[in-house]
Structure 1
Amino acid sequence: MNAMRTKIAIVTGAGSGIGRAAAVELLRTGWSVALAGRREDKLAETAAEAGATADTGAGGAGGAGTAARAGAPEALCVRTDVSRPGDVDALLAAVRDRFGRLDLLFNNAGTFGPGGVPVEELDYAAWRHVVDTNLNGAFLCAQAAYRQMKEQDPQGGRIINNGSISAHTPRPHSVAYTATKHALTGLTKSLSLDGRPYGIAVGQIDIGNAATDMTERMPAGVLQANGQLAPEPVMDVADVARTVRHMAELPLEANVQFATVMATAMPYVGRG
C-alpha cells in the first residue's frame, strides 16, 4: 500500500462474519473504510473492534456525515441495503463526500437463503431475495464503484467479489445460493475485462467454511451429497481477512483473478 496516501475501501456486509473480519483487518493496517450494512449498530461494533474513529453516513438518504478527522484509521458507517439502487448511490456519495476517492470495493454482502429446502419447495420470494442480494446487489455496488474509479484522478482501483466454494460446486438444497455464486464468477470476469483500460483490477475470493455465524452448525453436522449428516471443519475467519488484504494491496498492475481459501479438510475436492 502506498504509504504517502491513506487508501480508501468499501466493505459491504461489514456488520458481521467475513465482512467484519476483512474491515477490521483493513482498518488495523491503515486503510480508511466505509462500512456498509443494514444495521448501523453492527457497523459501529465493527469499527469499535478495530479501534477506529467512527462516523455515520446517511445511507439510503443521499447524504454523508461529517467525520472527525482526529486520527487514523477512520470508519464511515453507512446503512445500506445493497439490493436497493438508491442505497448504493447514497453509499458512494457518502464515500466521495468524506474521502474524495475509492481504492477498493470488497463486494461481500450476501445471504444463503432458506437452508435445507428442496428445489420443488423453494418459494419464489425466497429465490428472489437471494438473487437480489447476492447477484443484483453485487452488480449495483460494482457498477457504482466502477464509475467512481473510472472518473477519479488518479484513475483506477480494485474490486474483490466474495464468491464461494459454491461458485464451483454446490451443496445439497442450495439452488438459489449456488446459482448466484456461479453468476458472480461471470460478473467478475466481465468486470475484469472491461476494467482494463481504466486501471480497474477485479478479482474474486472463493471461501469455504470460514468460522462465522453462517457456519456455526458445521462442526455438529451438515447434509452431504450422499444424504448423510457429517461434521465439517472450519477455519479462522482472520485467515480470509488476511487474504483479502493481500489481494487489496497488490499494485494495480497485478491481480489475483481467483483465490480459493478453505478449511483444509473440508469436503470440496471430491465433494459429492
Structure 2
Amino acid sequence: MDAMRRTDTDRRTAVVTGAGSGIGRAVAVALNAAGWSVALAGRRVETLEETAAEMSATPSGAGPGDAPAGDAPADAPADGHVLTVRTDVSQPADVDALFAAVHERYGRLDLLFNNAGTFGPGGIALEDLPLSAWQKVVDTNLTGAFLCAQAAFRLMKAQKPQGGRIINNGSVSAHAPRPDSVAYTATKHAMTGLTKSLSLDGRRYRIACGQIDIGNAATDMTERMRRGVKQANGELAVEPVMNVSDVATTVLHMAELPLEANVQFATVMATAMPYVGRG
C-alpha cells in the first residue's frame, strides 16, 4: 500500500512548515498527490492558500514534478485532506495552535517536515551582524524546529498506534559554510545535533527522525545563485541549481519508509555545485 494511492481510511497525516513557497510547497504537493493529508503551516495565509490551490489542481497519483491538471481552476479550494494554519514557528503559542488543529482535524500525526527557515541578511560581515538579526535566524531555524519537534513528539507518543517520523531540513551548510553566513550556518550545524537527539529519544516511542541536506534547489531563496554568489575566495560566481521537485521526491521516499527503516541523513544537491571541495 505504501507505493500506491491511499484510500480515505488509511491516509497518513503530515505537517509541513514553511509550506507557502519553495521546498515546503513542493513537498506538500508531492505528499498530497501520494495520498497524504497535509497541514500547511507558514506565516502568510495568502501563500498557504496558493499552495493549497496547487495541491487541489494536482491530479491524484501525479509525481512531484508533474503539471497540474489543465481543467482545474487556479484558485480551486483545498479539500478536507488539506489544512492551512497561519504559524510563526518561533512563537510557542502558534506552534501549540498548529498541532492542536491537526489533532482536532485528523486525530493523529504521522510526519513532520521541519522546513521553515530563513537565511537572514546577506552580505554582512560577521563583526557587523546585528544581534537582532542573529536572534531572528536562531529563533526561526533552530528554536522553531525544536518547538515543532516537541509538539510532534507529544502527539506521536500519545497516539495509537504509537509513533511517526520527523524529517528536518538541514542544508549543505550543515557541513560547509558560505561566506558571511554565520547565523544560518550555526543553526544548520545545530540542526544536525537536533536530528541526532530526536532519533535517540524517539526510539522507545517508534519515532524516527532523519535529515535532508539540500544544496541549490531552484527557489526564490536561491535565485541569487543564478546571478552570482560570493565564493570562499571572495569572487562572485553563478552556481548550478536543481529542480525543487527532486527535493520533494527525496523527502517523499524518506517519508514513505516503514518506521522500522530510516534515512538518517541524505544529501540532495545540484550535481555541479561547488560543495565538495568548497573553499
CA contact (8 A) 2:118 2:140 kept: yes
Please list every run of 5 or more consecutive structure 2 residues that lacks an aligned counterpart in the other structure: 59-76
- The residue correspondences of 1:1-272 to structure 2 (distance < 5 A) are 2=2, 3=6, 5-51=10-56, 74-272=81-279
1:71 Cα deviation after fit: 9.6
TM-score by length of 1: 0.92
CA contact (8 A) 2:49 2:84 kept: yes
1:74 Cα deviation after fit: 1.5
Count of paired positions: 256
CA contact (8 A) 2:53 2:78 kept: no
CA distance in 2, matches of 1:116, 1:140: 29
Name the SS for the 2:260 alignment partner.
Answer: coil
Match of 2:145, as an amino acid? A
Distance 1:49 1:25, change over 3 A: same
CA contact (8 A) 2:254 2:263 kept: yes
1:52 Cα deviation after fit: 6.5
1:29 Cα deviation after fit: 1.3
CA distance in 2, matches of 1:76, 1:188: 26
Name the SS for the 1:271 alignment partner.
Answer: coil
Identity %: 76
Q: Which moved more, 1:160-169 or 1:215-224?
A: 215-224
CA contact (8 A) 2:55 2:78 kept: no
TM-score by length of 2: 0.89
Name the SS for the 1:10 alignment partner.
Answer: strand
CA contact (8 A) 2:110 2:164 kept: yes
CA deviation profile, 1:141-171 (whole Å, cap 9, x unmatched): 0000011000000000000000000000000
Question: What is aligned with 1:67?
Answer: none
Distance 1:52 1:84, change over 3 A: farther
Match of 2:95, as an amino acid? V
CA distance in 1, matches of 2:57, 2:197: 35
CA deviation profile, 1:4-30 (whole Å, cap 9, x unmatched): 500000000000010000001111111
CA distance in 1, matches of 2:111, 2:223: 29
CA distance in 2, matches of 1:44, 1:182: 32
CA distance in 2, matches of 1:183, 1:199: 23
Name the SS for the 1:259 alignment partner.
Answer: strand
Please list every run of 5 or more consecutive structure 1 residues that lacks an aligned counterpart in the other structure: 54-69
CA contact (8 A) 1:30 1:72 kept: no
CA contact (8 A) 2:25 2:51 kept: yes
CA distance in 2, matches of 1:71, 1:225: 45
1:72 Cα deviation after fit: 6.1
Match of 2:115, as an amino acid? N
Distance 1:71 1:109, change over 3 A: closer
1:51 Cα deviation after fit: 1.1
Question: What is aligned with 1:66?
Answer: none
CA contact (8 A) 1:52 1:75 kept: no
Distance 1:75 1:270, change over 3 A: same
1:261 Cα deviation after fit: 0.3
CA distance in 1, matches of 2:123, 2:214: 20
Match of 1:141, as an amino acid? C
Question: What is aligned with 2:61?
Answer: none
CA contact (8 A) 2:56 2:79 kept: no
RMSD: 1.5
Match of 2:87, as an amino acid? T
Name the SS for the 2:251 alignment partner.
Answer: helix
